[in-house]
């Protein structure tokens, strides 16, 4: 764990009790022993948190009442409070959470009906409060950057939706995409600790290949990820196939232009054998012409990858509108005809403005307070 991450966790804990999901398995065991309990109690706590999705210590009936009382006085179990929640006609749930310091973040649960009547659930998770990248089409990008999330604050978004699904009897979390508020790779250490716990046999037990990290193109961190020991997916927020346009749409491109980004992704595939994906949001008359499609295919030529085309979510900005459906299909046909695997992503939650940062932006503009009470409302 980096010194910077340790300092952040200490800062959050300075005014609030230790949150158990901020701890690794080893740290949790040390905490349990320091409280005068046998080491195996840590395993019981992990099971209660990640397998049984306990909302309170009182639900962990396999723990002695005396230990539960000590826990209630010394530590907290969760770090989020639900502030507002909206459900779309398509079943997408968008939730605004308050953190212990009063900051707010968003997360989303998206259902996808599958064959055999089963519904798969993907949760889209935030990794920062605000975002440092500043993409002009993104509501979060226009909010500025406040701070990184701790590992527990990342994990808790997943646990919230997992508990909601459990209580409804409607399934479980099948996939996690780190595509919410923030640039995930700019918070690498906390993100990776969260991923390890979500993957761990002692934790949430979700396969690494069921998790995907999205990045605007932090080249050094892509290199670091290519050497990591878990088979986590990588998605690149591309949105343009030339530097002039990408400089405007994704300002990080000025630091890591396409001449650095694409070779880094090629090297990632060479080292890992994992096929990267490219997210390409289509904006009307900005990056959706046949010439743009041809340039995109040329940029990715020879790279084993997948392109996800995403018609822009309406944000109220006249500058960044989704193209007409026929124009979207024409773009897809052109890219596929040039040998690039390309699919059109289904947009979810349009009727509740489920795009990244939109719910939080509305709250910030309203001037309403962002906190309710300590803990997490499930």
Does any domain span residue 372?
Answer: no
Helix (H, G, I), strand (E, B) or coil at 2: coil
Expressed as residue numbers, the domain containing 146 is: 81-366
Q: Residue 19: in which H helix or E strand, if any?
A: strand 18-19
64 and 204, same domain (yes or no): no
**Dist. CA 76–CA 17, nearest whole Å:** 6
Tens digits of per-residue pLDDT, 243-301? 999 999 999 999 999 999 999 999 999 999 999 999 999 999 999 999 999 999 999 99
36 and 169, same domain (yes or no): no
183 and 224, same domain (yes or no): yes
Please give the average per-residue pLDDT across 192-217, as a whole number: 98
Contact 213, 201 (CB under 8 A): no
Which residue among the candidates 131, 138, 342, 356 is catalytic per the annotation? 356
The pLDDT of residue 371 is above 60:
no
Does any domain span residue 375?
Answer: no
Tokens of 230: 């878990």
129 and 175, same domain (yes or no): yes
Please give the average per-residue pLDDT across 123-147, as a whole number: 92
**Dist. CA 181–CA 297, nearest whole Å:** 29
Task: Indicate which CATH number applies to the domain containing 127.
Answer: 3.20.20.70
All residues at 6 or more sequence positions from 329 whose CB lies less than 8 Å from its CB, including other chains: 344
Number of domains in the chain: 2
150 and 290, same domain (yes or no): yes
268 and 125, same domain (yes or no): yes
Q: Is-catalytic flag, 106?
A: yes
Does any domain span residue 376?
Answer: no
Helix (H, G, I), strand (E, B) or coil at 86: strand
- 343 forms beta bridges with 308
DSSP calls for 58-71 = GG-TTS-HHHHHHH
Q: How confident is the model at residue 140 (pLDDT cuts 50, 70, 90)?
A: confident
**Dist. CA 148–CA 156, nearest whole Å:** 14
Does any domain span residue 53?
Answer: yes
Task: Look at the pTM and tell me if it is higher than 0.75.
Answer: yes
- 111 forms beta bridges with 121
237 and 359, same domain (yes or no): yes
Strand 119-124: give its sheet, edge to edge: 81-87, 93-98, 104-113, 119-124, 175-178, 211-215, 233-237, 277-282, 306-311, 342-344
Q: Among the three residues 76, 109, 135, which one is the final residue of a domain in this structure? A: 76
pLDDT at 369: 46
C-alpha distances in Å from residue 338, one per residue of 293, 299, 319, 331, 332: 9, 11, 29, 11, 10
DSSP-assigned letter for residue 141:
G
The pLDDT of residue 70 is above 70:
yes
Tokens of 296: 């995109």
Which residue among the candidates 19, 37, 84, 106 is catalytic per the annotation? 106
All residues at 6 or more sequence positions from 147 whose CB lies less than 8 Å from its CB, including other chains: 8, 103, 128, 129
Strand-pair category, 104-113 with 93-98: antiparallel
Does any domain span residue 270?
Answer: yes
Task: Indicate which CATH number applies to the domain containing 62.
Answer: 1.10.150.530
pLDDT at 196: 98
Runs of H (alpha helix) within 253-289: 258-272
pLDDT at 142: 82
Q: Among the three residues 29, 49, 76, which one is the final residue of a domain in this structure? A: 76
Q: Which residues of 305-340 are buried (b: 16+ CB within 10 A; e: fewer)?
A: bebbbbbbbebeeeebbbbeeebbebbbebbeeeeb
Q: Is-catalytic flag, 124?
A: no
**Dist. CA 338–CA 91, nearest whole Å:** 35
Q: Among the three residues 76, 107, 138, which one is the final residue of a domain in this structure? A: 76
């Amino acid at each position: 764990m980096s010194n910077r991450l340790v300092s952040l966790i200490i800062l959050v804990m300075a005014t609030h009790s230790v949150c158990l999901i901020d701890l690794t398995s080893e740290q949790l065991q040390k905490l349990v022993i320091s409280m005068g309990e046998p080491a195996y109690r840590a395993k019981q706590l992990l099971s209660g948190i990640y397998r049984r999705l306990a909302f309170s210590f009182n639900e962990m009936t396999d723990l002695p009442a005396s230990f539960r009382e000590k826990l209630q006085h010394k530590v907290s179990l969760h770090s989020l409070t639900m502030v507002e929640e909206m459900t779309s006609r398509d079943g997408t749930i968008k939730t605004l959470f308050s953190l212990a310091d009063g900051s707010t973040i968003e997360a989303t649960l998206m259902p996808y009906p599958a064959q055999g009547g089963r519904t798969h659930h993907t949760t889209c998770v935030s990794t920062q409060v605000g975002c440092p990248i500043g993409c002009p089409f993104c509501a979060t990008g226009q909010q500025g950057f406040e701070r990184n999330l701790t590992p527990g604050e990342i994990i808790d978004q997943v646990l919230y939706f997992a508990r909601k699904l459990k209580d409804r009897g409607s399934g479980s979390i099948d996939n996690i995409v780190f595509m919410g508020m923030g640039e995930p790779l700019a918070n690498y250490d906390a993100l990776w600790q969260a991923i390890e716990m979500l993957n761990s046999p002692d934790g949430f037990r979700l396969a690494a290949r069921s998790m995907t990290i999205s990045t605007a193109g932090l080249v050094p961190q892509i290199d670091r990820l290519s050497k990591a020991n878990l088979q986590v997916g990588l998605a690149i927020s591309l949105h343009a196939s030339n530097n002039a346009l990408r400089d405007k749409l994704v300002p990080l491109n000025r630091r890591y232009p396409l001449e650095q980004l694409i070779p880094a992704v090629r090297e990632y595939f060479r080292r890992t054998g994992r096929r990267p994906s490219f997210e390409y949001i289509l904006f009307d008359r900005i990056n959706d012409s046949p010439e743009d499609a041809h340039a995109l295919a040329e940029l990715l030529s020879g790279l084993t990858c997948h392109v996800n085309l995403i018609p822009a979510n309406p944000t109220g900005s006249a500058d960044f509108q989704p193209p007409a459906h026929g124009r979207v299909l024409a773009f897809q046909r052109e890219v596929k005809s040039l040998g690039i695997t390309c699919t059109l992503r289904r947009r979810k939650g349009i009727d509740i403005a489920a795009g990244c940062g939109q719910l939080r932006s509305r709250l910030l503009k309203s001037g309403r307070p962002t906190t309710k009470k300590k803990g997490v409302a499930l």
